[in-house]
Amino acid sequence: MKQALIEKLTSKSATIGIVGLGYVGLPLMLRYVEVGYRVVGFDIDEAKVRMLNAGESYIKHIHAENILSARTNFEATSDFSRAAEVDALILCVPTPLNKTREPDLSFVISTTEALLPHLKKGQIISLESTTYPGTTEEELLPRIRARGYDVGQDMFLVFSPEREDPGNPNFTTRTIPKVCGGTTPACLEVGLALYGSVIDRVVPVSSTRAAELTKLLENIHRAVNIGLVNEMKIVADKMGIDIHEVIRAAATKPFGFVPYYPGPGLGGHCIPIDPFYLTWKAREFGVHTRFIELAGEVNSAMPDYVMGKLVNALNARQKSVNGSHILVLGIAYKKNVDDMRESPSVMLMEKLRDLGATISYCDPHIPVFPKMREHVFDLKSTPLNAESLSRADAVLLATDHDGFDYEVIRAHAKLIIDTRGRFAQPAAHIIKA
């Protein structure tokens, strides 16, 4: 059964099922279709299903023409019974934190439970959602076995973490190497066949647990280094030194230094969340991950640091936050994307609102503030021009989209709070934060 599935995968006669058609699942679907596979996409959001089947995109950096061209070999559905039609199921569902900052596997578990009645022998299931080491073996494997499948013989299970970087034109689904770990050696063989035809390089590891920890290490590495440079930003500011100038100079060293950049806080679906998956699991083994947690504390404090700089700058101009008009530039979590997950810009907006400020925002990628579970603003993006800039008591540069005209901002804003180091030349009305 293993060999038959490998042959279907390598000959591209297999049908691929992708569960979760968001920032990870949608590019993956396009890549499988591009090389000649038939793909069935599963999502519980009926609006997304309708849009995709109509050839429309709901992610800004994925163009509608790409969806349109894929329709000959792709269909979206919310009917999970159609899992019986596919040879591979790739799970790309969210793994957020709950209110107590502990791992929330509800999406992974509910998705698995919805698929189980429709599985058939000779399929491979790959989990791509970022999670703690042991999830695949502790949550998915027992559920599959309970349905009577012999994993490694008539059903195959792997973990292969997503590595998408939305909006980065230098790396694509095809060119980013893919780590893959199998529940058994046979599972790994099938996993390598699943990804080998669509990814330039697949990196095998010894187990699903190793693959799960690999993804966490990648993101914790970033979180810790961002925490370091955020702390250095505070030190440099006290000394009257521009940390961005220092980083640019240090980055000229051709070895032993990798530049990381400070900001108003961590955002996105990975860096603010993934460290907590490891710290939570580490406690099961009696390990206290002090280094990781300290970096988390530093990064979590950045919105308050920015607020302090803004409050002091307004106070120096004999203004209070209460009653001031603050224009926030950029509400996506990073530049040139429309993704707002865990965006520090939104946290800053809420803090400003709580202090009585009048808030407006400009983001060319997000024309209307979307509906969010925990954040509610009835706002639309305001045009960025001399009038809107001069009307604001302070302009808070939270996300430095390349589409902003920084010379216009410099010329017309009364006060600029620059959290991204975009304004290299000092000026009396520019405050680095």
- Catalytic positions are 270
Amino acid at 313: A
Evaluate whether 24 touches 162 at the Cβ level (below 8 Å): yes
Nearest to 363 by CA among 327, 391, 313, 415: 327
Within 8 A by CB and 6+ apart from 100, the residues are: none
Evaluate whether 382 touches 362 at the Cβ level (below 8 Å): yes
369 vs 385: CA distance, rounded Å: 20
Evaluate whether 83 touches 119 at the Cβ level (below 8 Å): yes
The beta strand positions in 22-161, using DSSP E, are 38-42, 74-77, 88-91, 123-127, 155-159
In 83-113, which positions are buried (b, 16+ CB within 10 angstroms) versus exposed (e)?
beebbbbbbbbbbebeeeeebbbebbeebbe
305 vs 311: CA distance, rounded Å: 10
The beta strand positions in 12-81, using DSSP E, are 15-19, 38-42, 74-77
Residue 88's φ and ψ, nearest 5 degrees, are: -140, 140
